[in-house]
Structure 1
Amino acid sequence: MKTKFILIAFTLIVQSLFSQDISGSWYGNLEAQGQKILLVFNIEKVENNYKSNFDSPMQGAKGIPIEKTTFENNELTFDASKLGITYKGKLTTDKIEGNFSQNGMNLPLILTRNNETEELKRPQTPKPPFSYNANNVSFKNDLQGNLLAGTIAEPKNFNKSKPILVMITGSGAQNRDEELFGHKPFLVIADDLAKKGIATLRLDDRGIGGSEKGKEGATSADFATDINSAVNYLTKNGYKNIGLIGHSEGGMIAPMVANMNKNVKFLVLIAGPGIPITDLITKQNYDIGKISGADENALKTNEEINKKLYLFVNNYKGNNLKSDAKTTILNDLKKLPESQIPKDKIEETAENQAKQISSPWFQYFIKYNPDINLSKIKIPVLAIDGSLDLQVSAKENLAGIKSSLTKAGNKHFETIEFDGLNHLMQTAKTGNPSEYAQIEETISPKVLDKISSWVLSLK
Structure 2
Amino acid sequence: MSRSSIALLPVLLLLAACDAPPAQSAPQAQSDSELTASLAPADPAFDGRWAGVLDAGAQPLRLELEIDLSGDEPSLILISVDQGGARVPMSVVRMNGDQLHFSTPGMALQYDGVLEDGVISGTFDQGGLSAPLVFEPHEDQTRDEPSARIAPVHGEGRVVEVALEDGRLEGVLTSPDAPRAGLVLISGSGPQDRDGNIAGHPVYAAVADALAEAGVASLRLDDRGVGASDAPAPLSPADLADDAVRALEVLQAETGLSCVGYLGHSEGGYLGLLAANESGADFMISLAGQHQDMATLLYDQSEALIRASGQGEDAVEANRELQTRVFQAIDQAGPGEAPAAIEAVLIELGLPEAAARQQGAMWGQPYAVAMFEGDPAEAAAAFEGPVLALFAEKDLQVLPEAAQAALLAARGDKPTRSVIVPGVDHIFEDSETGSPSEYGAAGHALSPTAWAMLVEETRALIGQACAD
TM class, shorter-chain normalised? 0.7 to 0.9
Q: CA offsets per residue over residues 49-107 of structure 1, 9 Å max, x none?
A: xx965344776969744356899xx9987665542334466887765544434344565
Q: CA deviation at 1:199?
A: 1.2
Q: CA deviation at 1:301?
A: 0.9
The within-5 A match list for 1:275-354 is 275-317=292-334, 319-333=336-350, 346-354=352-360
Residue 228 of structure 1 aligns with an amino acid whose one-letter code is: V
Aligned pair in 2 of structure 1 residues 111, 243: CA closer, same or farther (>3 Å)?
closer
Q: CA deviation at 1:21?
A: 9.6
Q: Given that residues 193 and 199 in structure 1 are in contact (C-alpha distance below 8 angstroms), is that contact kept between their aligned partners in structure 2?
A: yes
Residue 201 of structure 2 aligns with an amino acid whose one-letter code is: H
Aligned pair in 2 of structure 1 residues 104, 439: CA closer, same or farther (>3 Å)?
farther
> What secondary structure does 1:383 align onto?
strand
| C-alpha distance in 2 between matches for 1:444 and 1:66 | 36
2:108 to 75, 84, 87: 84
1:370 to 376, 379, 393: 376
The more displaced of 357-366 and 314-323 is: 314-323
1:443 aligns with 2:442: no
Aligned pair in 2 of structure 1 residues 118, 318: CA closer, same or farther (>3 Å)?
closer
Aligned pairs, number: 421
| C-alpha distance in 2 between matches for 1:351 and 1:218 | 20
Aligned pair in 2 of structure 1 residues 429, 244: CA closer, same or farther (>3 Å)?
same
Q: CA deviation at 1:442?
A: 1.5
| C-alpha distance in 2 between matches for 1:383 and 1:93 | 50
Q: CA deviation at 1:294?
A: 3.1
Q: Given that residues 29 and 109 in structure 1 are in contact (C-alpha distance below 8 angstroms), is that contact kept between their aligned partners in structure 2?
A: no
| C-alpha distance in 2 between matches for 1:384 and 1:232 | 26
| C-alpha distance in 2 between matches for 1:75 and 1:207 | 26
Aligned pair in 2 of structure 1 residues 23, 395: CA closer, same or farther (>3 Å)?
same
1:118 aligns with 2:124: no
Aligned position for 1:340: none
Q: CA deviation at 1:306?
A: 0.9
The more displaced of 163-172 and 228-237 is: 228-237
| C-alpha distance in 2 between matches for 1:255 and 1:273 | 10
> What secondary structure does 1:375 align onto?
helix
| C-alpha distance in 2 between matches for 1:94 and 1:133 | 34
Residue 118 of structure 1 aligns with an amino acid whose one-letter code is: D
1:168 aligns with 2:189: no
| C-alpha distance in 1 between matches for 2:102 and 2:160 | 39
Q: CA deviation at 1:377?
A: 2.0
Q: Given that residues 25 and 42 in structure 1 are in contact (C-alpha distance below 8 angstroms), is that contact kept between their aligned partners in structure 2?
A: no
> What secondary structure does 1:239 align onto?
coil
Q: CA deviation at 1:224?
A: 0.2
Could you tell me which runs of 5 or more consecutive residues in structure 1 were left unpaired when the two chains were aligned. 45-50, 335-345
Aligned pair in 2 of structure 1 residues 52, 140: CA closer, same or farther (>3 Å)?
closer
Aligned position for 1:139: 162
> What secondary structure does 2:369 align onto?
helix
Q: Given that residues 267 and 379 in structure 1 are in contact (C-alpha distance below 8 angstroms), is that contact kept between their aligned partners in structure 2?
A: yes
- CA-based RMSD of the aligned residues comes to 3.6
TM-score by length of 1: 0.80
Residue 229 of structure 1 aligns with an amino acid whose one-letter code is: R
Q: CA deviation at 1:198?
A: 1.8
1:39 aligns with 2:65: yes
Q: CA deviation at 1:280?
A: 0.1
Identity %, equivalent residues: 23
The within-5 A match list for 1:25-424 is 25-26=45-46, 28-31=50-53, 36-39=62-65, 53-56=75-78, 64-66=90-92, 82-87=106-111, 97-105=121-129, 108-111=132-135, 115=137, 117-118=139-140, 120-121=142-143, 124-126=149-151, 130=154, 134-141=157-164, 144-156=165-177, 158=178, 162-214=180-232, 216-237=233-254, 238-262=256-280, 264-317=281-334, 319-333=336-350, 346-406=352-412, 409-410=413-414, 412-424=415-427
| C-alpha distance in 2 between matches for 1:151 and 1:21 | 34
Q: CA deviation at 1:278?
A: 0.5
Q: CA deviation at 1:145?
A: 4.8
| C-alpha distance in 1 between matches for 2:138 and 2:156 | 37
Residue 110 of structure 1 aligns with an amino acid whose one-letter code is: V
| C-alpha distance in 1 between matches for 2:297 and 2:86 | 27
Between 1 and 2, higher relative CO (CA 8 Å, sep ≥ 6) is seen in 2
Q: CA deviation at 1:386?
A: 1.2
Q: Given that residues 28 and 110 in structure 1 are in contact (C-alpha distance below 8 angstroms), is that contact kept between their aligned partners in structure 2?
A: no
> What secondary structure does 2:157 align onto?
strand
| C-alpha distance in 2 between matches for 1:425 and 1:93 | 39
Aligned pair in 2 of structure 1 residues 150, 90: CA closer, same or farther (>3 Å)?
closer
| C-alpha distance in 2 between matches for 1:280 and 1:60 | 19
Q: Given that residues 420 and 429 in structure 1 are in contact (C-alpha distance below 8 angstroms), is that contact kept between their aligned partners in structure 2?
A: yes
The more displaced of 243-252 and 179-188 is: 179-188
| C-alpha distance in 2 between matches for 1:332 and 1:255 | 37
| C-alpha distance in 2 between matches for 1:139 and 1:419 | 36
Residue 186 of structure 1 aligns with an amino acid whose one-letter code is: Y
Aligned pair in 2 of structure 1 residues 314, 70: CA closer, same or farther (>3 Å)?
farther
Q: CA offsets per residue over residues 298-326 of structure 1, 9 Å max, x none?
A: 33112111111112102222653222321
Q: Given that residues 70 and 78 in structure 1 are in contact (C-alpha distance below 8 angstroms), is that contact kept between their aligned partners in structure 2?
A: no
Q: Given that residues 139 and 148 in structure 1 are in contact (C-alpha distance below 8 angstroms), is that contact kept between their aligned partners in structure 2?
A: yes
